[in-house]
Amino acid sequence: MRRRQTAPRTGGLLRRLPEAWRRPLAIAGGVVAIAWILIALAAPVLAPHDPLAQELPRLAPPGPGHWFGTDQLGRDILSRVLYGARVSIPLTLLLVALSVLIGGLLGACAGYFGKWVDETIMRLADLVFAFPTIILAMVVAAALGASLGNAVLAVLVVAWPAYARVTRGLVLGIREREFVVSGRLLGFSAWRSLRVDVLPNVTGPVMVLATLDIGTALLLLSGLSFLGLGAKPPSPEWGAMVASGVEVFDSWWVATFPGLAILTVVLAFNFLGDTLRDALDPRTARAIKERAI
């Protein structure tokens, strides 16, 4: 993906970006997303304290030595937020990747093979769609037992149908295209046709959805932790940290900083997803503007 190009180093580089990536929101999204990924990688170097060490005064407001303050156990919130990136971001990315893989594959099979395959997969997807997302995820997480791994599984259960639907629709549109039929006439098996001709031509839109979904998945995952169905203490998970901050509402910093972390990641990936969509979709505002008289 071209996402990597969004880090603007020089004016020259900026000008070489495709137009969709040159807008402020795209650049902001790219910068913030990359910053968070770097933080996740370098948290041990960046964090001033051990995220689990209860060595500072309890509930100290932000100040020198602990810029984001400390929580009720005397842990440094800045360090916990930085370490939290190592928990939430890789898990969210893994989660979305798995959703794309499972949902995409099921949707592609449904669209390509049709008939009972389609019926089975899509009715299953409808079943999931019929429930409010967070409630279903809560039910699944509660049934499996509270742990971060189970929370991921629960979000996976509610997230794949969106990919299945989108992929199915795209595959239906492309299945009858001449080049796919030509391949079948040359004796491609259905599987080879799907792999070689169909799937590579539906990845673009699915990637857009995935990027947009990173924010949602993170929210859902932190939401489950917030509700006590995910990460267990003392793990520095953002959702769990917000939950513990709610208990000490007077010390605003305890809940605010992990909350801001969630907000920035969600926004950044939403901006990236929007940009990706505009860059891939020919019917963008830019294209319309160009065609206007």
Partner 1 sequence: MSERHETAAGDGVLAIEGLTVAIRGKEILRGVDLTLEPGRVHGLAGESGSGKTMTGLAVLGLLPHGARVAGRIALAGRDLLSLPPKQLNAVRGAEVAMVFQDPATSLHPMLTVGRQLTEHMRHHLRLSRGEARERAIDLMRKVRIPGPEEAIGRYPHQFSGGMRQRIAIAVALACAPKVLIADEPTTALDVTVQAGILRLLRGLCDDLGLAVLLVTHDLGVMSAVADEVSVMKDGLVVETGPRGQVLVEPRHAYTRALLDSLPENAGNAAAATAGAEPSEGEPA
Partner 2 sequence: MTLLKVDDLVVEHRTPGRPVVRAVAGASLSVAAGEVVGLVGESGCGKSTLARTVCGIGRPASGTVSFQGRPVTPLGLRRRDPSLTGIQMVFQDPYASLNPRRRVGDQIADGLRTAADTSTTPADLLDRVGLPREFATRYPHEFSGGQRQRIAIARALAARPSLLIGDEPISALDASAQAQVARLMRDLAVESGAGLLFISHDLSVVRLIADRIAVMYLGKIVETGRTDEVWADPRHPYTRALLGAIPAPDGAGVLPAELPGDVPDPASPPAGCRFHPRCPKVMDVCREREPEFGPVACWLHEPA
Q: Is 196 in the site for partner 2 (CB under 8 A)?
A: yes
Could you tell me which of 54, 52, 69 has the C-alpha nearest to residue 232? 52
Q: Which is nearer to partner 2, 74 or 114 (CB)?
A: 114
Instruction: Among 135, 182, 232, 233, indicate the residue that binds partner 2 (CB under 8 A).
Output: 182
Q: What are phi and psi of 61, to 5 degrees?
A: -70, 165
Q: Which is nearer to partner 1, 19 or 126 (CB)?
A: 19
Catalog residues that contact partner 1 under the rule CB under 8 A. 289-293
The first and second tokens of residue 254, run together, are: 């305890």
3 state SS for the chain: CHHHHHCCCCHHHHHHCCHHHHCHHHHHHHHHHHHHHHHHHHHHHHCCCCCCCCCCCCCCCCECCECCCECCCCCEHHHHHHHHHHHHHHHHHHHHHHHHHHHHHHHHHHHHHCHHHHHHHHHHHHHHHCCCHHHHHHHHHHHHCCCHHHHHHHHHHHHHHHHHHHHHHHHHHHHCCHHHHHHHHCCCCHHHHHHHHHHHHCHHHHHHHHHHHHHHHHHHHHHHHHCCCCCCCCCCCHHHHHHHHHHCCCCHHHHHHHHHHHHHHHHHHHHHHHHHHHHHCCCCHHHHHHHCC
Shortest Å distance, C-beta 91 to partner 1 = 45
Chain positions 232 to 271 lying near partner 2, rule: CB under 8 A, are: none
Q: Is 12 in the site for partner 2 (CB under 8 A)?
A: no
Q: Which of the stretches 82-90, 158-166, 179-187, 265-273 binds partner 2 when contact is defined by CB under 8 A?
A: 179-187
3 state SS of 7: coil
Which of partner 2, partner 1, none has residue 29 at its interface (CB below 5 to 8 Å by kind)? none
Q: Which is nearer to partner 2, 183 or 239 (CB)?
A: 183
Shortest Å distance, C-beta 288 to partner 1 = 10
Which of partner 1, partner 2, none has residue 293 at its interface (CB below 5 to 8 Å by kind)? partner 1
Q: Which of the stretches 60-68, 86-94, 174-182, 279-287 binds partner 2 when contact is defined by CB under 8 A?
A: 174-182
Q: Is 118 in the site for partner 2 (CB under 8 A)?
A: no
Q: Is 197 in the site for partner 2 (CB under 8 A)?
A: yes
Q: Which of the stretches 19-27, 92-100, 185-193, 256-264 binds partner 2 when contact is defined by CB under 8 A?
A: 185-193
Q: Which is nearer to partner 2, 121 or 266 (CB)?
A: 121
Q: Is 282 in the site for partner 2 (CB under 8 A)?
A: no
Shortest Å distance, C-beta 119 to partner 2 = 15
CB atoms within 10 A of CB 271: 25
Which of partner 2, partner 1, none has residue 24 at its interface (CB below 5 to 8 Å by kind)? none
Interacting residues toward partner 2 by CB under 8 A: 113, 177-190, 196-197, 200-201
